[in-house]
Amino acid sequence: MSKAETASSKISPKTSPGEPATTPEEFIICVMARLLEGLGHVSVGALSPIPGCAALLAREVSGAGGRVSIIHGDANNPYTDGGREIFDCAGQGRIDAFFLGGAQIDGEANINLLGLGSYPKIDKRFPGSFGSAFMYFTVPKVILFAPEHSRRVLVERVDFISAPGTSPPGVRRPGGPKALVTGLCLMSFEARKKRFRLQSVHPGHTLEEIRDNTGFDFDLPRGEDGGEGGAVPVTPEPEAEKLQMLRSTIAAEIAKTYPDFAARVFQPRA
């Protein structure tokens, strides 16, 4: 996550006097949470503290209706049928949103969680593909997540496809990528065109900076008439009440699953 700090060090939003500045993690959490509000069931996989915070925050904002399930540990983990249940649940269509990261993500939304090099000759190994090759197919709203917005991560073509961004006709695929949240911007994904479309640029950053740090070509926001080439909006700052919620209720909740993360990101101001 220290990568996010580097990538988004320019985020220094206006805060009221006495309020600590929004950190890059908090900013990204709030961007992701906006994508989740009103959803019935958001599930969060292993090793995902930032998505976990976003899901809990969106639930808190939405009121009592939504469910959040976090499979990393016992807190906020509703599953009682073992490790397979989250996947069975997704296969049954009971999970509305899920998050996937990627050591590499390419312009067609293929993701690589496995390693760099020409498989099986791996030069730099990452943990592995986890459940991505299934969840990407089954969960309707998959949000891709890349704190480090760089040409190292956002590449023209991934070295290894842990999970493909799109599938040919005939493959049963109710799910897939809908958005990409990075340290610099928010993009949407259009499966039909196999392309990302920029939605907004985080405060303090520019379109040029995004182009310079993105290894693939992408579309610009649509204009008000729905056509190509609209203006590029700025991603809204986190709302004060959401930030407050995040730093209190959500910080305490996520600490049950990710104590180290909570201590590092939220503790200094607690």
In 10 A of CB 57, how many CB atoms?
A: 28
In angstroms, rounded to a whole number, what is the distance separating the alpha carbons of residues 110 and 126? 16
User: Could you tell me which stretch among 8-16, 161-169, 184-192, 200-208 binds other proteins (CB under 8 A)?
Assistant: 161-169
CB of 137 to other proteins, least distance (A): 4
- Angle (CA) 9-11-17 rounded to 5° is 120
The reply to whether 84 sits near other proteins by the rule CB under 8 A is yes
Q: Kindly state the helix (H) or strand (E) to which residue 26 belongs, with its residue range.
A: helix 24-34
The two structure tokens encoding residue 43: 């599930």
Q: Tell me, what amino acid is at 140?
A: P
Task: Classify residue 264 as exposed, middle or buried by CB count within 10 Å of its CB (0-12, 13-18, 19+).
Answer: middle
The answer to whether 256 touches 70, Cβ cutoff 8 Å, is no
> How far, CA to CA in Å, does 81 sit from each of 86, 96, 163?
9, 20, 25
Minimum CB distance to other proteins, residue 47 (Å): 6
d(CA 111, CA 161): 6
Q: Of residues 13, 15, 62, 79, which one binds other proteins by CB under 8 A?
A: 79
Per-residue tokens: 215: 């290894």
86-115 positions binding other proteins, by CB under 8 A: 87-88, 91, 113-115
What region, left, alpha or beta, does residue 117 occupy, with left being phi > 0 and alpha being psi -120 to 50 degrees?
left
Stretch that binds other proteins, among 77-85, 181-189, 223-231, 236-244 (CB under 8 A): 77-85
Does the protein bind other proteins through residue 80 (CB under 8 A)?
Answer: yes
Query: Binding of other proteins at residue 121 (CB under 8 A)?
Result: yes
Q: Is 18 in the site for other proteins (CB under 8 A)?
A: no
User: What would the x/- binding string for other proteins be over residues 172 to 211, using CB under 8 A?
Assistant: xx--------------------------------------
Task: Note whether 74 binds other proteins by CB under 8 A.
Answer: yes
Q: Which residues of 192-219 are buried (b: 16+ CB within 10 A; e: fewer)?
A: eeebbbbbebbbebeeebbeebbbbebe
Contact call for residues 86 and 30 (beta carbons, < 8 A) = no
* Residue number with CB closer to other proteins (47 or 234): 47
Nearer to other proteins, 176 or 221 (CB): 176
Q: Which of 40, 73, 223, 233 binds other proteins (CB under 8 A)?
A: 73
Smallest gap, in angstroms, from Cβ of residue 82 to other proteins? 3
Among 20, 40, 83, 236, binds other proteins (CB under 8 A): 83
Q: Does 48 bind other proteins (CB under 8 A)?
A: no
- Determine the interface stretch with other proteins among 5-13, 79-87, 94-102, 222-230 (rule: CB under 8 A): 79-87
Is position 68 an interface residue for other proteins (rule: CB under 8 A)? no
| Total residues binding other proteins (CB under 8 A) | 53
Residue numbers of the site for other proteins (CB under 8 A)? 46-47, 72-74, 79-85, 87-88, 91, 113-115, 119-138, 160-164, 167-168, 170-173, 258-261
